[in-house]
Copies of this chain bind each other. A is one copy, B any other.
Amino acid sequence: MSQQTAITPTREQDFPEWYQQVVKAADLAENSDVRGCMVIKPWGYGIWENMQRGLDGLFKATGHKNAYFPLFIPLSYLAKEAAHVEGFAKECAVVTHHRLVPDGKGGLKPDPESELAEPLVVRPTSETIIGATYAKWVQSYRDLPILINQWANVVRWEMRPRVFLRTAEFLWQEGHTAHETEAEARAETEQMLAVYAQFAREWLALPVFTGEKSAGERFPGAEQTLCIEAMVQDRKAIQAGTSHFLGQNFAKASGIQFVSRENKQEFAWTTSWGVSTRLIGTVIMAHGDDDGVILPPRIAPAQVVILPVAPKPEMREAVFAACDALAAKLRAQSYGGEAVRVEVDKRDLGGGQKSWEWIKRGVPVRVEIGPRDIEKGTVAVARRDRGHKEKAFPTAEEFVGGITATLGEIHATLMDRATMLRDANTVKIETKEEFTAFFTAKGKEISGGFAFAHWDGTAETEAEIKDALKVTIRCIPSDSPAEDGACVWSGRPSGRRVLFAKSY
In the complex, A76→B132 CA distance in Å? Answer: 36
Q: Is A293 an interface residue (CB 8 A)?
A: no
Q: How many copies does the complex hold?
A: 2
Pairwise interchain contact B39-A70, C-beta atoms closer than 8 A:
yes
Judge if A101 is at the interface, Cβ distance under 8 Å: yes
**Interfacial chain B residues near A101, Cβ < 8 Å:** 89
Contact with B along A92-118 (1 / 0, CB 8 A): 111111111100000111100000000
In the bound complex, do residue A94 and residue B110 qualify as a contact, i.e. CB atoms below 8 Å apart? yes
Decide: A107 and B76 in contact? CB cutoff 8 A.
yes
Q: Is the CB of B96 within 8 A of A91?
A: no
Which one, A119-127, A197-205, A321-329, is touching chain B? Answer: A119-127
Picked from B42, B67, B72, B136, the residue with its CB within 8 Å of the CB of A67 is B42
Q: For A42, give the chain B residue with the smallest CB separation.
A: B65
Q: Which residues of B contact A412 (CB under 8 A)?
A: none
Q: Report Cα–Cα, A42/B148, bound state, in Å.
A: 8
Question: Cβ of A37: which chain B residues have Cβ within 8 Å of it?
Answer: 70-72
- State in angstroms the CA–CA spacing of A75 and B110 once bound together: 9
Contact (Cβ within 8 A) B79 A90: no
Q: In the bound complex, do residue B98 and residue A39 qualify as a contact, i.e. CB atoms below 8 Å apart?
A: no
What's the minimum C-beta distance from A69 to chain B, rounded to whole angstroms?
5
Q: Are B49 and A66 in contact (CB under 8 A)?
A: yes
Q: Is A46 an interface residue (CB 8 A)?
A: yes
Question: Do residues B75 and A108 form an inter-chain contact, with CB atoms below 8 A?
Answer: yes
CA distance A32 to B148 in the complex (A): 17
- Assembly CA distance A101 to B75 (angstroms): 11
Q: Contacts of A109 on B, CB cut-off 8 Å?
A: 75, 119
In the complex, what residue of chain B is closest to A152 when comparing beta carbons? Answer: B153
- Do A169 and B76 have beta carbons less than 8 Å apart? no
Q: Which residue from B68, B76, B85 sits with its C-beta under 8 Å from A39?
A: B68
For the complex, give the distance between the alpha carbons of A431 and B109 in Å.
Answer: 47
Q: Is the Cβ of B121 less than 8 Å from the Cβ of A100?
A: yes
Within 18-76 of A, Cβ neighbours of B (below 8 Å) are at: 30, 32-34, 37-42, 44-46, 48-49, 65-76
CB distance A74 to B42 under 8 Å?
no
A129 at the interface (CB under 8 A from B): yes
Question: How many of chain A's residues touch chain B, expressed as a range?
Answer: 35 or more
- The reply to whether A66 and B93 contact each other, CB–CB distance below 8 Å, is no
In-complex Cβ contact of A71 among B94, B108, B155 (8 A): B155
> Complex: how many Å from CA A239 to CA B48?
31
Q: Looking at the complex, which one of B71, B89, B93, B99 makes contact with A92 (CB distance below 8 Å)?
A: B99
A359 CB–B CB distance under 8 Å: no
Q: How far is the CA of A120 from the CA of B132 in the complex (A)?
A: 27
Residues of chain B contacted by A41 (CB below 8 angstroms): 67
- Known interface pairs A155-B71, A169-B72; A65-B45 also in contact (CB < 8 Å): yes
Contacts of A120 in B (CB 8 A): 34, 93
Closest B residue, CB atoms, query A32: B70
A258 within 8 A of B: no
Q: Known A108-B85, A120-B34, A121-B100; judge A66-B42 contact (CB<8 A).
A: yes
User: Residues of B contacting A65 with CB < 8 Å?
Assistant: 42, 45-46
CA distance A38 to B70 in the complex (A): 6
How far apart are the CA atoms of A68 and B280 in the complex, in Å? 14
Contact of A34 with B100 in the complex, beta carbons under 8 Å:
no
Query: Does A133 interact with chain B (Cβ within 8 Å)?
Result: yes
Docked Cα-Cα span, A71 to B120, in Å, equals 15
With contacts A153-B153, A171-B68 known, is A89 near B94, CB below 8 A?
no
Tell whether A78 is near chain B: CB-to-CB under 8 Å. Answer: yes
* A39 & B66 in contact (Cβ 8 Å cutoff): no
**Which residue, of A32, A98, A157, has the highest number of chain B Cβ atoms within 10 A?**
A98
Identify 20 residue pairs between A and B in the complex whose beta-carbon atoms are under 8 Å apart, listed by A's number: A30-B136, A32-B70, A32-B129, A32-B132, A34-B74, A39-B68, A39-B70, A42-B148, A46-B66, A70-B169, A71-B155, A72-B93, A75-B109, A79-B107, A90-B99, A91-B99, A94-B96, A96-B96, A96-B97, A122-B122
Q: A79-B107, A94-B100, A96-B96 are in contact. List 13 more A-B contacts (CB 8 A).
A: A32-B132, A39-B69, A39-B133, A45-B67, A46-B65, A46-B66, A48-B68, A71-B122, A71-B153, A85-B108, A90-B100, A96-B110, A98-B157
Interface residue ranges, A against B (CB under 8 Å): 30, 32-34, 37-42, 44-46, 48-49, 65-79, 85, 89-101, 107-110, 119-122, 129, 132-133, 136, 148, 152-153, 155, 157, 169, 171
3 closest A-B pairs by CB: A37-B70, A42-B65, A40-B68
